[in-house]
Structure 1
Amino acid sequence: MAKQTAIRLPDETYERLQALAARTGRTATFYIRQAIEEHLEDLEDIYLAEQVLERLARGETRTYTLEEVERKLGLDD
């Protein structure tokens, strides 16, 4: 099931989007959906990475060297 939402765009972005839609015969909605779908995973990854960095900075988590991981997994032969 699809949900509907509304966004506000700067005038220049709106005009560019409308021009692209007119030139290609696609709808502005198509390009908005495509942009969101292509970039949402990247934004999620950035958010998760920032959370990990914050935990590292607070000393709540630690990193492991490659040697430590190999030793733990028995790959240090």
Structure 2
Amino acid sequence: MSATMTVRPPQEIQDRYAALARATGRPRSFYINRALEDSIDELEEIYGVLHDLEEYRAGRLKALSADEARSACGL
């Protein structure tokens, strides 16, 4: 199931998606959805790490030693 979402990319990006769509005969939405799908994993990882760093700096997240990390991973 899909839902409508409004975004306002710079004109240059809009033009590039339009050109790609014309060149391939696919709709712009195909490529935009593809880009969103491809980038979400990386964004979640980056911002998850940044969140954990903030939690650590605030004293709400405990750091593990290398031995504790290995043990937690079953190594």
Deviation track 1:5-60 (CA, whole Å, cap 9, x = no partner) reads: 22212111111110111111111000000000110121111121111000111122
Cα distance in 1, alignment partners of residues 28 and 72 from structure 2? 52
Q: Pick the structure with greater CA Rg.
A: 1
Structure 1 runs (4+) deviating above 3 angstroms are 69-75
What SS does structure 1 have at the residue aligned with 2:59?
coil
User: Which structure 2 residue ranges, 5 or more long, are not aligned?
Assistant: none
Q: Distance in 2 between matches of 1:46 and 1:63?
A: 18
Q: Does 1:29 align with 2:20?
A: no
**Partner residue in 2 for 1:62:** 62
TM-score, normalized by length of structure 1?
0.80
Percent identical residues: 35
Q: 1:23 to 1:73 in 2, by over 3 A?
A: closer
What is the count of residue pairs matched by the alignment? Answer: 75
Which consecutive unaligned segments of at least 5 residues does structure 1 have?
none
Q: CA RMSD in A?
A: 2.1
Q: 1:42 to 1:15 in 2, by over 3 A?
A: same
